[in-house]
Amino acid sequence: MKNAFLPFLLFSLLVHGILLLTGPREGRGSELDKRTPLRAVYRSQKEKITGFKVEKIHDSDTLQNLNRNPSFRDREASEKGSVQEDALLLENRALKESPASALEIDVHYPYLSRKNNEEGEVWAEVLISPEGRLLEAVITQSSGFPRLDKAVLKGIREGRFKPAIKEGAPSESRLLLGPFRFCLKD
């Protein structure tokens, strides 16, 4: 019985030692961990990235149904005059051309950067393929800390993108992303 207890005791001490060495956990740890978010999440907005006004764009099936249904168009035209036709023209143009956009980019605030009080703002430029894949990512404005810049590049590489639409077809395009802000809150 003593022979079985000793390896178990050593194993549990080893596991607890490893857990203590891996850093603070939620609920216990330094003040830095309690007041600092673990992630800096950037969810793009077309207004923020491109400067274009975001408008509701119907899918092509909805537009075709609107064009085929004369009673709907007559009723709308009588209520709003030529405004409805102008809106349909804008929607058709929006379906043929739209800027590239970032659907989701998740950037983690590195633990060592938080521990060393590294803060900053990072901007990046990316090249998106017609398929929506990332072809190139370059830091255009550094935070001054290589670890933060690398965290942004890693988040961008793991992100998802929507390609630009030009003349009704997806096309390669450049996109400016940022600012990614790394800030320790008091």
Per-residue pLDDT, 186:
56
The last residue of one of the domains, among 68, 96, 124, is 96
pLDDT along the chain (186 residues), means of 10: 60 54 44 38 36 35 42 46 52 64 90 96 95 95 96 95 90 92 86
Per-residue pLDDT, 60:
41
Are residues 171 and 119 both part of a single domain? yes
In a domain, 3, yes or no: no
Are residues 116 and 176 both part of a single domain? yes
Query: What φ, ψ does residue 80 adopt, rounded to 5°?
Result: -120, 5
In a domain, 10, yes or no: no
In a domain, 21, yes or no: no
**In this structure, are residues 90 and 135 in contact, taking their beta carbons and an 8 Å threshold?**
no
In a domain, 152, yes or no: yes
Are residues 35 and 82 both part of a single domain? no
Per-residue pLDDT, 32:
40
Are residues 48 and 121 both part of a single domain? yes
In a domain, 4, yes or no: no
Which residue segment(s) compose the domain that 83 sits in? 60-96
Query: What φ, ψ does residue 17 adopt, rounded to 5°?
Result: -65, -40
Per-residue pLDDT, 111:
96
Are residues 72 and 140 both part of a single domain? no
**In this structure, are residues 175 and 150 in contact, taking their beta carbons and an 8 Å threshold?**
no
Are residues 87 and 148 both part of a single domain? no
In a domain, 15, yes or no: no
| Secondary structure letter of residue 36 according to DSSP | S
In a domain, 129, yes or no: yes
Overall pTM > 0.75: no
Per-residue pLDDT, 35:
38
Per-residue pLDDT, 82:
52
Are residues 110 and 174 both part of a single domain? yes
Are residues 109 and 153 both part of a single domain? yes
Are residues 45 and 117 both part of a single domain? yes
Are residues 129 and 151 both part of a single domain? yes
The last residue of one of the domains, among 71, 96, 121, is 96
Structural domain total, the chain: 2
CA–CA separation, 16 vs 155, rounded Å? 32
Are residues 89 and 151 both part of a single domain? no
Are residues 74 and 102 both part of a single domain? no
In a domain, 22, yes or no: no
